[in-house]
């Protein structure tokens, strides 16, 4: 019992004391959080059949992450800056923050502080209006709470409690070990609640897609999902076993992207140079397969193509899956899990919070707690890359070894059971 009592305090100390520039703190946090999560899962008999107590405990864990500063990531400052521009009647899509303040000097002390801490003042925003809506609500609540972040964290806590409820509602007869993957996952709590990353907003739509039988309702939920994050459009290849219906949905989704064209992609050239295009030719962080393209390309001075080539290969494999009968015969949750896993493997950028979607799909696909725990450890360990690029090689080798040795067993088990 004492270990369950200490877990929320462990999360509290990590979210308040983490420093991504300190090697010792990153190492200790990675190891302890991964092991603690793994060990407590073996002691869930403590809750026995008292699911209500378990549910309340998971909410308490999240509450201990409230009130913390964004020590892990500074992305929140861009979300807040864009949200406040909209609340003040300005569009965040026409100019970069640096260009914007030259035309409209910042009179607000709060906006000046946000701008000074932003990691992307010279880039165009890539965040859709539907996503920024949640940060707008959080910004208004920040004023009520007299806090810089508590309002946004409260919004994300509310959404995540809804996620907990939906998981129980859609999977009512599962064991506590099944729920533990999401309910007490330290990466979900820290990156989703404390650091306010938007992946946690994707979860309810993913659950609705998985549990809804009607293909057209799935398509509607997918439309909303793509308005939160553009890479979720890949789930289009998994929402149905009927290829013709998928093609009909694709037409609808393309039509729905008119909203993206009016906002994020209002200027395609600038987005390519200093917006979402950076993901293809400039940004690199903790990639898995992308380095296999990067290092050979470095001999020819074309490393900027590594991300693009990696994603093209990913696209080719997606098409192969789409045409593969075995893949199309899988359940929807396993199809979506494979799609997102494929994206992560070939993405040039894998921030720790990207794994939130992997975890929810891994949970409903019954992925082993051992693999989940190992990925939690590796995800937090990837913060070492902020200290020095040399740590990327350590992270990369550990990832390839761990996933290669253990993941092969999981993939073989998945193949045999389907």
pLDDT at 369: 92
Instruction: Compute how many other C-beta atoms are within 10 angstroms of the C-beta atom of residue 297.
Output: 15
pTM: 0.94
Phi, psi dihedrals of residue 349, rounded to the nearest 5°: -130, 125
Report d(CA 29, CA 16) in Å as an integer.
12
Task: Using the predicted structure, report yes or no on whether residue 274 has a pLDDT greater than 70.
Answer: yes
Are residues 232 and 222 in contact, defined by beta-carbon separation less than 8 angstroms?
Answer: yes
Report d(CA 203, CA 162) in Å as an integer.
9
More confident residue, 403 or 351: 351
Name which of 9-23, 116-130, 143-157, 271-285 the model is least confident about. 271-285
Are residues 55 and 406 in contact, defined by beta-carbon separation less than 8 angstroms?
Answer: no
Task: Using the predicted structure, report yes or no on whether residue 418 has a pLDDT greater than 60.
Answer: no
pLDDT at 410: 59
Task: Using the predicted structure, report yes or no on whether residue 283 has a pLDDT greater than 60.
Answer: yes
246-264 pLDDT per residue, tens: 887 877 777 777 778 778 8
What is the band of 116 on the pLDDT scale with cuts at 50, 70, 90? Answer: confident
Report d(CA 357, CA 206) in Å as an integer.
9
pLDDT, average across residues 179-196: 97
pLDDT at 105: 64
pLDDT at 14: 95
334-362 pLDDT per residue, tens: 999 999 999 999 999 999 999 999 999 99
Phi, psi dihedrals of residue 285, rounded to the nearest 5°: -160, 115
Helix (H) or strand (E) holding 15: helix 2-17
pLDDT at 340: 96
pLDDT at 413: 59
pLDDT at 408: 65
Percent of the chain whose predicted confidence (pLDDT) is above 70: 95
- What b/e sequence results for 372-397 when a residue is b if at least 16 CB atoms lie within 10 Å of its CB, and e otherwise? bbbbbbbbbbbbbbeeeeebbeebbe
DSSP tag of 302: -
pLDDT at 278: 76
pLDDT at 108: 61
Q: In sequence order, which residues have a C-beta less than 8 Å from that of residue 29 and are 6 or more positions away? A: 14, 18, 380
What is the band of 109 on the pLDDT scale with cuts at 50, 70, 90? Answer: low
**Average pLDDT of the chain?**
89
């Amino acid at each position: 019992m004492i270990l369950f009592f200490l877990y929320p305090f462990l999360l509290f100390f990590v979210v308040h004391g983490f420093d991504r520039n300190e090697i010792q703190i990153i190492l200790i946090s990675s190891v302890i959080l991964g092991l603690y999560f793994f060990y407590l899962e073996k002691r869930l008999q403590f809750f026995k059949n008292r699911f209500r107590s378990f549910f309340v405990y998971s909410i308490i864990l999240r509450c201990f992450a409230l009130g913390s500063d964004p020590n892990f990531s500074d992305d929140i400052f861009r979300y807040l800056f864009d949200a406040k521009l909209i609340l003040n009647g300005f569009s965040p899509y026409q100019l970069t923050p640096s260009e914007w303040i030259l035309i409209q000097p910042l009179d607000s002390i709060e906006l000046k502080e946000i701008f000074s801490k932003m990691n992307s003042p010279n880039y165009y925003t890539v965040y859709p209006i539907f996503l920024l809506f949640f940060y707008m609500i959080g910004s208004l609540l920040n004023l009520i709470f007299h806090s810089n972040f508590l309002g946004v964290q409260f919004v994300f806590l509310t959404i995540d409690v809804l996620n907990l409820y939906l998981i129980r509602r859609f999977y009512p007869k599962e064991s506590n070990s099944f729920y533990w993957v999401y309910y007490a996952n330290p990466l979900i709590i820290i990156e989703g609640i404390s650091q306010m990353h938007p992946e946690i907003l994707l979860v309810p739509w993913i659950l609705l897609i998985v549990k809804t039988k009607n293909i057209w309702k799935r398509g509607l939920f997918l439309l909303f999902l793509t308005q939160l994050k553009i890479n979720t459009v890949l789930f289009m290849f998994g929402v149905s076993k009927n290829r013709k219906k998928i093609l009909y949905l694709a037409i609808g989704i393309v039509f729905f992207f008119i909203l993206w064209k009016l906002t994020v992609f209002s200027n395609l050239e600038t987005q390519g140079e200093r917006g979402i295009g950076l993901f293809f030719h400039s940004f690199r962080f903790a990639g898995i397969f992308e380095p296999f393209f990067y290092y050979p390309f470095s001999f020819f001075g074309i490393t900027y193509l590594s991300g693009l080539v990696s994603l093209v290969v990913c696209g080719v494999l997606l098409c192969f899956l789409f045409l593969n009968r075995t893949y199309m015969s899988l359940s929807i949750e396993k199809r979506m899990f494979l799609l997102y896993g494929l994206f992560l493997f070939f993405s040039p950028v894998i921030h720790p919070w990207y794994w939130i979607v992997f975890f929810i799909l891994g949970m409903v696909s019954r992925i082993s707690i051992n693999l989940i725990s190992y990925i939690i450890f590796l995800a937090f360990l990837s913060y070492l890359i902020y200290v020095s690029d040399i740590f990327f090689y350590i992270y990369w080798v550990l990832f390839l070894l761990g996933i290669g040795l253990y993941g092969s067993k999981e993939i073989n088990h998945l193949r045999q059971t389907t």
